[in-house]
């Protein structure tokens, strides 16, 4: 454009000068105009040559520089397309040869690093696996309270909130103080610090325990253990969490029950005692008076009996001793029973039908003991040598069937076994087989097969409840691509993070925590159109955390146009019954708290949010980086800065387009590849990135 403008200016000046000269020529006018035409032709030819020179040796060279920077930093597979002047083509071919050699070296280096880190990765995978399988919640935090590690159990315990209210999320880099009472943690840390200062090696490893309420209302028994750095100084702490809400509530109900029972019985016992004392003090009282006192004793005794029966029916589970039940897979439980019966009794145990995906919550030891006692009775009294064990799902229950050839067992004998067969549990208390079933919340009964040739007893137990999902369900058809490693539930590099409230503008781009977000709408006019879907995920320490996502369909309270559905695939049926925007935006506001927002053409998304400020009661004031603007900073010579165009230039695979979460993931991957390119241009901090973005043409777009 500059060359064209320069040519037009030069041509205009030359033409004006020639016209001025023409006015002064006079008699030689006939010779003058052919000369003018020749001069203009020469000038035009000169401008064309100059333009070709600039295009070949300025624009094309600039293109080669950008391509070389791309291959060097984020996209080694990128190659320069040959074109332009032969010298430039030769330079492009040479650059491609360098790129091929560089890519080979990169692959060799990556392979060497992979082999060197194989052992470390294996240990890390083992740690992640062990933590994931723990039933206790585990959090690891630094001294600033930032979460460095968590497992699934911790997320299950701490996510969610009573009455559906918004509450802090569990995630890497987030503050634990928004989830667990800060004062309780600080008090425990003070105790740990005191023990640490005493330099007693034994006490330095002591755990401090306390019970506190989480933000979601659960009561947690929390054990806090410190961990030290290589220099012996306190670096952070580990929190082991156990939900004791049900146990404490049960204890409170039991205490209230005992208090109520005591108050009710005190009056009845007082009346009975008074009647007995009166009859003892006056042995010569008339028969009618004695009968009245006896009637009082009888009525009060009956009332006491009814009260006790009523409370036992209503509060039997609160009065019963609670067992520690552990979740176990059906094949594993069946294996335990089969091994016990085969080893201890020497009988043949045949596996029957087994539901491989079924899981139960049982006291494995006591349950196997009870079944072993039953099998022992069958062997001793009837000489049974073969049993068949089955474990299947029956509606909401799990059914354990022990079957044997029929040999004279009738219902009367079976009922006697139920009440007399004793089992010693882990606490060395003796209980019956029926009590084993009842304390698991189940039932047990004897039954004959219709043929009459085989008998079996069935132990019906509740199935283990499935854990509640940690993220709101979505009908969006996008699924995140599979990753090779386990979910990113840990990031130990956060030990080196600065304080919780640094000056963001001066922070390096690589050190910031980001939330990448995208929205899908009914159209492109803020104020008239509505949001139908929001997707977001976090970037911590240069890693896209695909497990810490926000994905929610939104009821727009209006029909979705067919043109919009054709783009994002969201229909009226999919958003029916979903929360409205005034409910969703406060939850999103908490999800993005203390992070930098990243998006593609994010000005549109934020304008949609701004239209809902009054309705939702939240305002998004986070710092913002837009990949549309940053692309114009990195590649000013490129004309196309659509998200797919940028992805193609940077070697990012495009998946899940036109879903909110899919576009957010794609934008996050692009942004991570932009950071090295920005650094190549001397842009290292948030302030520098925002200042550069503001200078681009796209920054002038308004919605």
Residues classed as catalytic: 658
Phi, then psi, of 529 in degrees rounded to 5: -90, 165
Helix axes 29-54, 2-23, angle to 10 degrees: 170
CB 462 within 8 A of CB 440: yes
Tokens of 421: 């067969």
Q: Which residues of 443-460 are buried (b: 16+ CB within 10 A; e: fewer)?
A: ebebeeeeeeeebbbbbb
CB 395 within 8 A of CB 358: no
CA-based nearest residue to 235, from 497, 489, 495: 495
CA-based nearest residue to 634, from 602, 674, 578: 674
CB 516 within 8 A of CB 671: yes
- In sequence order, the β-bridge partners of residue 150 are 139
Q: Is 63 helix (H, G, I), strand (E, B) or coil?
A: helix
Task: Report the chain's C-alpha Rg in angstroms.
Answer: 39
DSSP H or E segment with residue 243: strand 234-243
Query: Across the beta sheet with 348-354, what order do the strands follow?
Result: 348-354, 386-394, 397-405, 454-462, 443-448
CA-based nearest residue to 677, from 103, 73, 181: 73
CB 368 within 8 A of CB 424: no
CB 131 within 8 A of CB 489: yes
CA–CA distances in Å: residue 54 to residues 60, 62, 71, 292, 423: 9, 11, 24, 123, 95
Helix axes 330-345, 364-382, angle to 10 degrees: 40
CB 426 within 8 A of CB 363: yes
**Length of the chain in residues, anyone?**
703
DSSP H or E segment with residue 410: none
d(C-alpha 436, C-alpha 432), whole Å: 6
Tokens of 281: 């003090």
CA-based nearest residue to 449, from 509, 402, 499, 502: 402
Tokens 């028969």 correspond to: 287
Tokens of 528: 């008239």
Phi, then psi, of 3 in degrees rounded to 5: -65, -45
d(C-alpha 155, C-alpha 405), whole Å: 49
Tokens 């041509």 correspond to: 11
d(C-alpha 341, C-alpha 369), whole Å: 10
CB 422 within 8 A of CB 435: no
d(C-alpha 682, C-alpha 687), whole Å: 12
Tokens 């165009």 correspond to: 645
| DSSP labels, 131-189 | HHH-SSEEEEEETT-BEEEE-HHHHHHHS--GGG---PPP-TTSBGGGTB-HHHHHHHH
């Amino acid at each position: 454009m500059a060359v064209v403008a320069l040519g037009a200016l030069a041509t205009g000046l030359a033409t004006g000068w020639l016209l001025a000269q023409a006015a002064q020529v006079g008699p030689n006018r006939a010779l003058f105009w052919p000369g003018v035409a020749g001069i203009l032709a020469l000038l035009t030819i000169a401008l064309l040559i100059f333009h070709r020179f600039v295009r070949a040796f300025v624009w094309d060279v600039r293109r080669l520089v950008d391509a070389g920077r791309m291959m060097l930093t984020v996209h080694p597979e990128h190659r320069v397309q040959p074109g332009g002047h032969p010298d430039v083509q030769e330079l492009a071919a040479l650059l491609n040869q360098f790129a091929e050699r560089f890519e080979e070296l990169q692959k060799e280096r990556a392979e060497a690093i992979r082999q060197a880190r194989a052992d470390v990765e294996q240990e890390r995978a083992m740690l992640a696996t062990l933590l994931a399988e723990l039933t206790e919640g585990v959090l690891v935090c630094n001294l600033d309270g930032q979460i460095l590690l968590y497992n699934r159990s911790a997320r299950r315990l701490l996510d969610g909130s009573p009455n559906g209210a918004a509450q802090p999320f569990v995630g890497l880099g987030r503050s634990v103080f928004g989830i667990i009472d800060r004062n309780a943690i600080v008090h425990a840390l003070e105790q740990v610090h005191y023990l640490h200062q005493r330099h007693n090696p034994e006490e330095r490893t002591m755990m401090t325990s306390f019970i506190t309420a989480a933000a979601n209302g659960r009561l947690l028994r929390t054990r806090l253990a410190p961990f030290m750095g290589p220099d012996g100084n306190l670096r952070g702490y580990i929190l082991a969490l156990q939900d004791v809400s049900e146990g404490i509530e049960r204890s409170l109900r039991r205490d209230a029950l005992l208090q109520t029972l005591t108050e009710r019985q005190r009056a009845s016992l007082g009346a009975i005692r008074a009647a007995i004392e009166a009859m003892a003090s006056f042995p010569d009282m008339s028969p009618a008076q004695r009968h009245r006192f006896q009637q009082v004793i009888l009525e009060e005794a009956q009332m006491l009996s009814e009260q006790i029966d009523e409370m036992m029916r209503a509060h039997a589970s609160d009065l019963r001793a609670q067992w520690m039940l552990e979740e176990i897979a059906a094949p594993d439980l069946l294996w335990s029973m089969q091994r016990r019966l085969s080893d201890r009794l020497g009988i043949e145990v045949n596996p029957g039908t087994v539901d491989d995906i079924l899981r139960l919550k049982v006291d494995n030891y006591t349950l196997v003991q009870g079944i072993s006692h039953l099998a022992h009775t069958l062997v001793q009294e009837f000489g049974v040598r073969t049993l068949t064990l089955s474990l299947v799902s029956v509606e909401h229950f799990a059914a354990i069937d022990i079957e044997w050839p029929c040999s004279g067992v009738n219902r009367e004998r079976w009922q006697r076994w139920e009440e007399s067969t004793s089992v010693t549990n882990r606490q060395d208390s003796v209980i019956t087989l029926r009590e084993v079933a009842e304390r698991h919340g189940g039932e047990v009964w004897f039954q004959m097969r219709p043929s009459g040739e085989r008998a079996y007893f069935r132990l019906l137990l509740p199935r283990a409840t499935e854990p509640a999902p940690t993220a709101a369900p979505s009908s969006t058809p996008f699924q995140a691509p599979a990753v090779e490693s386990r979910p990113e539930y840990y990031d130990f590099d956060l030990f080196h993070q600065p304080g919780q409230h640094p000056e963001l503008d001066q922070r390096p781009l690589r050190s910031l925590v980001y939330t990448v977000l995208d929205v899908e709408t009914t159209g492109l006019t803020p104020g008239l159109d509505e949001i139908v879907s929001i997707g977001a995920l976090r970037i911590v320490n240069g890693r896209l955390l695909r497990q810490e996502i926000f994905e929610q369909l939104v009821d727009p309270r209006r029909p979705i146009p067919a043109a919009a559905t054709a783009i994002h695939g969201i229909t009226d049926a999919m958003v029916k019954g979903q929360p409205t925007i005034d409910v969703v935006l406060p939850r999103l506001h908490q999800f993005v708290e203390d992070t930098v927002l990243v998006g593609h053409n994010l000005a549109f998304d934020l304008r949609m949010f701004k239209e809902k400020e009054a309705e939702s009661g939240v305002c998004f004031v986070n710092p913002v980086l837009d990949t549309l603007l940053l692309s114009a900073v990195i590649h000013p010579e490129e004309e196309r800065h659509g998200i797919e165009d940028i992805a193609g230039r940077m070697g990012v695979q495009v998946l899940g387009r036109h879903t909110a979460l899919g576009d957010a993931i794609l934008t996050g991957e692009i942004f991570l590849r932009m950071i090295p390119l920005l650094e190549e241009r001397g842009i290292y901090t948030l302030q520098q990135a925002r200042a550069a973005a503001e200078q681009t043409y796209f920054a002038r777009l308004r919605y």
